[in-house]
Amino acid sequence: MSSSLKQRNPTSSQADDTEAEQELSESPPPQLRRQRSTSHQAMSQTLTSAANLANLLPTGTLLAFQLLIPVFTTNGSCEYATRVLTLVLLTLLSISCFLSSFTDSVKAEDGNVYYGFATRKGMWVFDYPDPSGLGLPDLSKYRIRFVDWIHAVLSMLVFGAVAMRDKNAVSCFYPAPEQETKKVLDIVPIGVGVICGLLFLVFPTRRHGFGYPVTGDGGRR
């Protein structure tokens, strides 16, 4: 009995060693695992950044898009008339994103926040009760700058990327896309989102348009 046990022990130990060697050979080396983990994290961050770009769009425009696009496209099943109406809707919302980049808000001496539209000389405050502008800060600090045009164009591109990621909008214009077209529709919005995200970081804005909080006048140039 004891001799048979002694004979089995080396065999079982050899089998365990063989299984351990197979597990080591099948598992990737630590350096390769770190590279895969790093690339996976980078891809996740890229996709998250592209998705979060929707937060840079005007809240009202984005809400209107989410509410109206299923109605205009009849949930992605478009005919000629609905396709034209959807194109008009996307054009109007894109123009809204462009114009919203030039809106701003200002806090008057009475403590209330008033909104206006930036011009070359300053800002036109359209909801202030006093036409003379008494009680308002120096509006020349709010004039249009080059960065506003950059943000306006980027907002339109971001809106286009968001629209290309919407299944109803894509199904309306491309009901049965080819494989190559489908790849383009998947890649282009991510590329546009990443590039626009970097440009938004390089060219930050101090404007606080409709629905954005006012941080005060001290940060104005």
Quote the pLDDT of residue 217.
47
Q: Is pLDDT larger for residue 71 or for residue 25?
A: 71
Residue 175 CA to residue 52 CA, distance in Å, equals: 27
| CA torsion through residues 216, 199, 101, 145, sign | positive
Q: Is pLDDT larger for residue 212 or for residue 64?
A: 64
DSSP state of 54: G
Check if the beta carbon of residue 57 is closer than 8 Å to that of residue 158.
yes
- Tell me the sheet residues that pair with 113: 107
Q: Is residue 3 very low, low, confident or very high in pLDDT (cuts 50, 70, 90)?
A: very low
Check if the beta carbon of residue 50 is closer than 8 Å to that of residue 161.
yes
Q: Is pLDDT larger for residue 179 or for residue 3?
A: 179
Among 129, 105, 100, CA closest to 116: 105
41 by Cβ neighbours in 10 Å (0-12 / 13-18 / 19+) ranks as exposed
Calculate the alpha carbon distances from 101 to 30, 88, 98 in Å. 48, 21, 6
Quote the pLDDT of residue 30.
53
Residue with tokens 């054009």: 91
User: What residue ranges do the domains of the chain occupy?
Assistant: 9-102+144-202
| Residue 32 pLDDT exceeds 50 | no
Residue 202 CA to residue 200 CA, distance in Å, equals: 6
> Crossing angle, helix 80-100 and helix 146-164, to 10 degrees?
150
Q: What is the rounded average pLDDT for all residues in the chain?
A: 77
Give mean pLDDT, residues 99-124: 87
108 by Cβ neighbours in 10 Å (0-12 / 13-18 / 19+) ranks as middle
Calculate the alpha carbon distances from 95 to 70, 156, 177, 211 in Å. 20, 7, 27, 18
| Residue 12 pLDDT exceeds 60 | no
Residue 107 CA to residue 127 CA, distance in Å, equals: 12
Give mean pLDDT, residues 70-95: 93
Q: Is pLDDT larger for residue 53 or for residue 83?
A: 83
Quote the pLDDT of residue 178.
87
Residue 30, number of CB atoms within 10 A of its CB? 8
| Residue 75 pLDDT exceeds 70 | yes
**Cβ burial 77-96 (10 Å sphere, 16+ → b, else e):** ebeeeeeebbeebbeebbeb
